[in-house]
Structure 1
Amino acid sequence: MPSVSGSVPSGLSTMPSRATTSSGSRGSTRARSASRGGLGAGLVEIARVPLRDPATAVMADPQVAEARRFCVRCEKPVGRGREGRPGRAEGFCPHCGTAFSFLPRLGPGDVINGRYEILGALAYGGLGWIYLARDRNVSDTVSDRWVVLKGLINTSDADAMASAVAERRFLVELDHPNIVKIHDFVEHPDPRTGTPVGYIVMEYVGGQSLRDMLLARRRDMGQRALPLPEVLAYGIEILPALDYLHDRNLLFCDFKPDNVIHAEEQLKLIDLGAVRHVDDLTSAIFGTPGYQAPEVGTVGPSVASDIYTVGRALAVLSLDFRGFSSTYANRLPDPAEAPLFAAEMSYHRLLRRATHADPERRFSSAGEMSEQLLGVLREVLSAADGLPRPAVSRQFTPERRAFGTDAGEVVMGLAGRSWGAGGGIPPGAIAPAPPAVSAALPLPQVDVLDPGAGFLASLGTTDPGELVHHLSNAPVRSVEVALRLARARIERGDLAGAAADLDRLGAADPYDWRVDWYRGLLALTANRAAEARVAFDAVYDALPGEPAARLALAASAECSGDRALAARLYDRVWRVDRGYLSAAFGLARIRFLTGDRAGALAVLDQVPDSSSQHVAAQVAAVRASLPGLAGATGPDDLLRASARLEQLGLDVERQTRLTIEVLEVALAWLRSRQAPGPGTRILGHELTERGLRFGLEHAYRTLAQLAREPQLRIALVDHANAVRPRTLV
């Protein structure tokens, strides 16, 4: 049965749309608190939605369209017209005999419980009419207090009555800034039958529902989705409200865009008619097709099914999602069908986890989902404007060291030519060695609530052999101790022992992403990059908002030969957090090797002066500026490389080695091209063969003076003699 009948005024929503029965209910309060802030944690500016004058929201002629009239019991059409005659608004279902009425029971001027004066009907939903009223007890003060009364479709409907009673029993105690406040529960005689009818009294929330905002964008702008940053901000803002409910063993059950109001600068979760306790095994379960998790009908609602509804709601708001309750009722579109998913991998993975067919694969709590949503939002915003938005991760340490930054210093070969004068190849132009990546990647943070956390903090050694001994004989057994033991075995080189440890942990908890992370580190240490990629891909699925997960997948993709994926992920990591220096070098490396020299230089120049890798980045930029590769063809390239080198301020030995590399490349370039105009100088030497040879001779002799080994010193002097201009024939 449809969830809404007729037009829903701004600032209001309807009751849950459909009731199903279940013999049980599964759920858990694995939720963790998520910090609150402004919309999108203050990262997204969204126009304020002005509060609507409540009096203007009242329906002038409250009717339910015939196409939206269904029996509350069998859900078959009722009250339909035939042969040009309008259908009856009241009567009995011809299929099951259940009485129906689509007429408001209350009208303007009615006073409920001697306190609430009805102004009129606002909307009609799955459980009945919604009315606007003035609270007489506070109306004569500074301003009126407007409230909303929700009644029932039919007092003979046991499921609807039970739902209302459930609201009265525990919802009046809820107090959260993002949840509509329930003020009271009152009864009033039905004017037709005299039978008492229950009404829930709640605060009036102005503004617009997210569904109304989506429909307005379609109507006014021809766009079938809200901007992704806005959608992510809405999710981040409203998930703490669900977390609040879950912490109190309550399930919302019917989350959808209709049930979220944006009023001024705040979001409010409304329509609590489907809320139930996690251990409620008997009450009817309300939900909406297209949003409700597939397992609810058999095992009942849970925290995981609430997470599912949020994922579906985000998808509806962000995609041109026609067919979400039919074609895509139990799945998301593929990236080929949804360009947004192709462009935003992290967002796609977030929704895939939130709406996974296996409830155990979904986020364990609304707080966890909110944390990952915030990470995805940072990534999306930084990708759009290039401004970093770093944040301290609660899941990972920083990277232990930067990988792929080796400066590749020029050294001398005894054959009489410089090693490393590679025509401008930047440091680490070849993919970094997988074991070096394994030793540099971030590590999962230790869970301070783990029984072994204190023991791990007391360990005073870093020697892998000693750690294996201490951890194998630890006085406490826990997951964190077992993970640390596996890591120590990897660092010691006992890969078989580490694999056995991780297999045991994976068998005990197949949903622990940390096991996959250490499996990835193990595979890299063993030079099995393709296997590592599979493991880190699983971590990225579990933690789509974590830059560390994207970095690990990028590195393993690069090591296994997939430069396209590696570059895409390195770029996203570097844009959001300049602390991941490995991402900068990886992105520059791949851009250079694929012909984008300007792009490589742009990334290297973004490494800040304060970074320990700033000099390495500039050395890389010097090499990337040299002609011979990646489209560098003119003397201007040599001049730029020379200027960069002169500004570096390296020590004498490193400066001389890099000078040799630049002059060697310049000499090779000069021999194959027409000489530039007179007066052009590179590192203080004229850009002629004679000038460059003099410069090389001087540099080789300088290195010879610095050499400690006699054999190398002799080789350098011989090379200086060989390169002098007078040796030319």
Structure 2
Amino acid sequence: MSLPPLPSQDPLTLLMEKAEVPERKRHCPHCDTKVTRTKGFCGQCGQEYNFEPSLKTGDIVNGKFEIKGPVAFGGLGWIYLGWDKVLNRWVVMKGLLNTKDEAAAAAAVAERQFLAAVKHPKIVGIYDFVNNGNEGYIVMEYVGGKAVGSILKEKGVLPVEEAVSYILGILPAFSYLHANGFVYCDFKPENFMVEGEDVKLIDMGGVRKIGDPSGDIYGTRGYMAPEASDDPVEVSDLYTLGRSLAVLIMDFKYMKEYESSLPTPAEQPVLAENESLYRFLLRATHQDPDQRFQSADEMADQLYGVLREIVALKTEPKPAESQTFTSDNLFDADDVAGAEQVDVRLLPTLKMDVRDPAANELLRMAAVSNPEKRVAALEYVADKFGEKSPEARLRLANAYLGVKKFSDADKLLDQLHAEDQFDWRVSWYRGKSLIARNDGRGARIEFGKVYFEMPGEIAPKLAIAYAAEIAGDYEEAARYYKRVAKVDPNQTTACFGLARCLNKKMDINGAMEALTAVPAQHSLFNQARIALAKLLLHDEKGLNESLLEKAAETIESISAEGGVVHHLAGRLLASTVSLIAGGRVKEDRNAQLLGHQMHPFALRKGAEEEFRKAAHFAESHLEKIGWIDMANAIRPRTLL
């Protein structure tokens, strides 16, 4: 992940030409009534207000900070650019309080001293807290970049990849704040900056301690989580990150019509084009805090997966190991059935939750391959740990599926759901259970729940494709298979599944392209080439010279030895004989096909040899007789 670099700029260029708060932003700080003058007394509540900067160019604060002028007006007052005359560095000074009481100003500064402990490379540095008469200020590091909000105003909505990269870049700052007991409260595009090739969180004036009943709460309409006005917590911050990402990629009325919701994909093409991103935003900005991402790290992990998919669909595969799922389980080179049909055993496996109290005992059971013995062993562990170990019972439910004890699995999963309705793993195993019973529609619903929770993961999308194919919805199945195969073609069940679905839709070229996506180093490469050769030869009437050459090239690329390979070679040579006889392919003694001259005698002899070789691999006497009959039927006729 890289961010578009921005050139550094002269700090003095940030100074406001006219230090004046726009009239539309003038509201009484006490009762929020709109006022027109820059200072005076509110006609509604009678309290004094003042929107004029109290510090002038050249003022010296605390004996060392020389004021250069205002750069912005924020929620807490004016923000100034200053020069530290002692340490010779630029600083930014942000007002904490504007009051007639110097003691109150000193108290306000003291209350914010905890910010001095906040030190992170992606968070603006806090240098000092100072008083100047009846006002208090935070003295902060000057960040020589540009606010993302300013970039948005200049360029309009941002490319999805750029916007996602900005949010991904700032998430570690929130992980740090939350781990240290703080919430930021008022995140929005204006409050983080691009500096060089990185982003940095600025404006720490609204930061507060989690669970602190005292102090003001700051937020911005259109960004603020519904619960944040009473008690902002970690997920309240994550809500603001989701809303900010939405604002960066879409032009919509986020402060009015969509203050508490998102546009639909039908309204915003960017959401229709990036389904996983839309799913991510739905969860990030859910009105129920329990439905959102529960940590900045979890949010970052899923958003990174979403970005990988977005980039891969436009460029080239971007495989990466998941922290939650294994790859699919199609890795046996001889697993012909797995390549030819949907099979629940091939779905990715959920990785072990190592924090579970039964994790060590469960890991030791990996060596138990007998399904019945595995069930018995897991029943023992599940009974031993009881409700303390969800992992043991989830693994037991999965083992029940392996021996077709579906009612036992359902009962166990229902019990787990009753204990924790937010454990999406229950939906994963329910989906597997329904796949095993060929209920594609039911499985689609369960896997959809997993997709909501894990929008950056490949596994739920692959599972949805399985379910759709079983349900006969080849259009949807192909769409999800294609997405998975584009991101990571090592998930070969996606490549084979896509080929099957496109073949059902009579898109033979698309099916062949799907099979060619299987990586050459993968154990299923030969199976993919065999399937490709079968597709090329499936309709002799449609064969031409180009397809013959491609079929020959495909067969020659198969490194495995077996009857099916010799059968395909024999079919190709025999089909070419028919094409020459029908005048659709020219006889050419100077050309070769699979090492045989392109004339009927040589091609017949080659086909005979291939069918006889196939007979050596026959698994039954009847099959062997069939190959020999084919060899005899195609062999060249002579006078002797």
TM-score normalised over the length of structure 2: 0.91
In structure 1, what is the Cα distance between the partners aligned to 2:379 and 2:51?
71
Aligned to 1:123: 72
Give the secondary structure class of the aligned counterpart of 1:148: strand
Of 704-713 and 330-339, the range deviating more from structure 2: 704-713
Amino acid across the alignment from 2:385: V
Aligned to 1:330: 260
Instruction: Identify which of 47, 55, 63 aligns with 1:98.
Output: 47
Q: Is 2:217 aligned against 1:285? A: yes
Amino acid across the alignment from 2:371: P
Unaligned runs of 5+ in 2: none
In structure 2, what is the Cα distance between the partners aligned to 1:405 and 1:128?
71
Aligned to 2:465: 554
Give the secondary structure class of the aligned counterpart of 1:120: strand
In structure 2, what is the Cα distance between the partners aligned to 1:645 and 1:506?
51
1:259-658 aligned within 5 A: 259-297=191-229, 299-321=230-252, 323-386=253-316, 388-402=317-331, 407=336, 428=340, 432-433=341-342, 436=343, 438-459=344-365, 460-474=367-381, 475-477=384-386, 478-626=389-537, 628=539, 632-651=542-561, 653-658=563-568
Give, in angstroms, the shift of residue 113 of structure 1: 1.7
1:120-199 aligned within 5 A: 120-138=69-87, 144-152=88-96, 154-155=98-99, 164-165=108-109, 168-189=112-133, 196-199=134-137
In structure 2, what is the Cα distance between the partners aligned to 1:645 and 1:185?
75
Tell me, yes or no, if the aligned pair for 2:332 and 2:523 is still in contact at 8 Å: no
Give, in angstroms, the shift of residue 284 of structure 1: 2.8
Amino acid across the alignment from 1:357: Q
In structure 2, what is the Cα distance between the partners aligned to 1:211 and 1:108?
26
Aligned to 1:229: 161
Give, in angstroms, the shift of residue 683 of structure 1: 4.3
Give the secondary structure class of the aligned counterpart of 2:206: coil
Of 111-120 and 587-596, the range deviating more from structure 2: 587-596
CA deviations 1:494-522 (Å, max 9, x no partner) are 11111111111111111112111111111
Describe the shift of the 1:162–1:726 C-alpha distance in structure 2 as closer, same or farther (beyond 3 A).
farther
Instruction: Identify which of 46, 51, 58 aligns with 1:109.
Output: 58
Tell me, yes or no, if the aligned pair for 1:353 and 1:541 is still in contact at 8 Å: yes
Give, in angstroms, the shift of residue 568 of structure 1: 2.4
In structure 1, what is the Cα distance between the partners aligned to 2:351 and 2:217?
39
Query: Which structure has the highest helix share of the two?
Result: 2
Give the secondary structure class of the aligned counterpart of 2:204: coil
Tell me, yes or no, if the aligned pair for 1:51 and 1:206 is still in contact at 8 Å: yes
Unaligned runs of 5+ in 1: 1-42, 81-87, 139-143, 190-195, 218-223, 409-425
Of 598-607 and 396-405, the range deviating more from structure 2: 396-405
Of 397-406 and 533-542, the range deviating more from structure 2: 397-406
1:13-52 aligned within 5 A: 43-44=1-2, 46-52=3-9
Describe the shift of the 1:402–1:338 C-alpha distance in structure 2 as closer, same or farther (beyond 3 A).
farther
TM-score normalised over the length of structure 1: 0.80
Q: Is 2:185 aligned against 1:256? A: no
Describe the shift of the 1:161–1:315 C-alpha distance in structure 2 as closer, same or farther (beyond 3 A).
farther
Aligned to 2:142: 204
Amino acid across the alignment from 2:44: H
Amino acid across the alignment from 2:563: E
Tell me, yes or no, if the aligned pair for 1:335 and 1:342 is still in contact at 8 Å: yes
Describe the shift of the 1:656–1:163 C-alpha distance in structure 2 as closer, same or farther (beyond 3 A).
farther
Instruction: Identify which of 34, 53, 61 aligns with 2:10.
Output: 53
Give the secondary structure class of the aligned counterpart of 2:350: coil
Tell me, yes or no, if the aligned pair for 2:428 and 2:446 is still in contact at 8 Å: yes
Aligned to 1:246: 178
Describe the shift of the 1:647–1:305 C-alpha distance in structure 2 as closer, same or farther (beyond 3 A).
closer
Amino acid across the alignment from 2:71: L
Give the secondary structure class of the aligned counterpart of 2:520: coil
Taking only the aligned residue pairs, the percentage that are identical comes to 41
Amino acid across the alignment from 1:176: H
Amino acid across the alignment from 1:92: F
Give, in angstroms, the shift of residue 650 of structure 1: 3.9
Tell me, yes or no, if the aligned pair for 1:635 and 1:676 is still in contact at 8 Å: yes
Describe the shift of the 1:711–1:229 C-alpha distance in structure 2 as closer, same or farther (beyond 3 A).
closer
In structure 2, what is the Cα distance between the partners aligned to 1:338 and 1:162?
49
- The structure whose RCO (Cα within 8 Å, separation 6+) is larger is 1
Aligned to 1:421: none
In structure 2, what is the Cα distance between the partners aligned to 1:427 and 1:242?
44
Give the secondary structure class of the aligned counterpart of 2:98: coil
Matched length: 630
In structure 2, what is the Cα distance between the partners aligned to 1:131 and 1:399?
56
